[in-house]
Amino acid sequence: MTGLLLIRHGESTWNAEQRWQGQQDPPLSETGRAQARLASERIGAVDAIFASPLARARETAAILANAIGLEPVIELPGLMERDAGAFGGLTRPEIEERFPGYLDEGRRPDDYEADESVAARAAVTIDAIRATVPDGDVLVVTHGGLIAQFTASLGDPQTRLANLGAVRLAERAGRLVVVERLSLAEVDEPAPSDRI
């Protein structure tokens, strides 16, 4: 049985500017790099690392892999963040200016990827990862929106993860369930067990 730890990437330059990213590709900020280095001290032994090909996830995964001594990182397009469409690159005030009332009403532009699409894409990719590593512990460095939609599809309440927040999944009665939420970059957070 595969043990899975889904990790949100470190802070990107656009996270710092509070810009919606979607599939646009800003790099990690210096804070994001520091978060990834701190998280690498808390991960423990793993058997494989998979990541979204977007720079913020790819670089987070590379820092973790280097510290753990496990390379290469396997990039999978199915782990990319949702396509935010016309919201991509905008701050909340810019969205309000261009799309008045959308955020307050929970509306999205027509080219915004639907929740169901994100969850389905994540499920297919996670199943492929489990088939690739049927027995072992796996890190999956991806994005907050994808993790939220995937865990919601498993019946777990959708909650937002901070940068380097993580969700541990396990198989129970033949299906994946969320068994733990972690914050890998918080100084006061206890370190997880030495296996994911």
Of 11, 59, 81, 113, which residue is the catalytic one? 81
Burial of 17 (0-12, 13-18, 19+ CB in 10 A): exposed
59 belongs to the catalytic site? no
Of 9, 59, 113, 143, which residue is the catalytic one? 9
Q: Mutual orientation of helices 144-153 and 115-132 as an angle, nearest 10°?
A: 90
Closest C-alpha to 139, from 55, 56, 72, 81: 72
Hey, what are 163's tokens? 């940068």
Using the structure block, give the residue that is written with the tokens 């390379």: 71
81 belongs to the catalytic site? yes
- How large is the C-alpha radius of gyration of the chain? 16
* Active-site residue set: 9, 81
